[in-house]
Amino acid sequence: MSYDSDNIFAKILRGEIPCDKVYEDDWALAFNDINPQAPVHVLVIPKGAYVSIDDFTTDAEDAEIAGFYRAVGHVARALGVVEAGYRTLNNTGADGGQEVPHFHVHLFAGRPLGPMLSPAL
């Protein structure tokens, strides 16, 4: 799948749409999800144009990958959720439930988050 530069997160990165920013560095932008699923629900996105974890881990430079995942850890520490615990999640493609075609990691925290998935059918 080729990258759609009109996706909503690309517009947020370009500043065309506002976001509730939590953190930003050279590699990543983190902002609160517009429809939170937990008391803390932050999205961390790379600055580069990647559809999913598939092309991110195929095409991104090592420095981009390291910088991005360091930013995820930094956000968790800055939010003060490490001690109580948190969950990171990445949805990929149709079966993964990905809605926005710009690679992103969800960070959930602020309450016991329960089991990861319902039992398989």
Residues that bind ligand 5GP (CB under 6 A): 8, 17, 19, 31, 33-35, 43, 91, 97-100
Long-range contact list for 110-115, CB < 8 A, 24+ apart? 110/38, 110/39, 110/40, 110/81, 111/38, 111/39, 113/38, 113/85, 113/86, 113/87
Active site residue 41: no
* Residue 69 CB neighbour total at 10 angstroms: 16
Shorter beta-carbon distance to ligand 5GP: residue 41 or 74:
41
With beta carbons less than 8 A apart as the criterion, state whether 101 and 51 touch: yes
Q: Which is nearer to ligand 5GP, 63 or 110 (CB)?
A: 110
Smallest distance, ligand 5GP to C-beta of residue 74, A? 19
Q: Are 23 and 78 in contact (CB under 8 A)?
A: yes
Pick between residue 30 and residue 76 the one whose CB is nearest to ligand 5GP.
30
Least Å from the CB of residue 23 to ligand 5GP: 14
What the block records as the tokens of 112 is: 């016991």
Q: Exactly one of 41, 74, 102, 104 is catalytic; which is it?
A: 104
Catalogue the active-site residues: 104
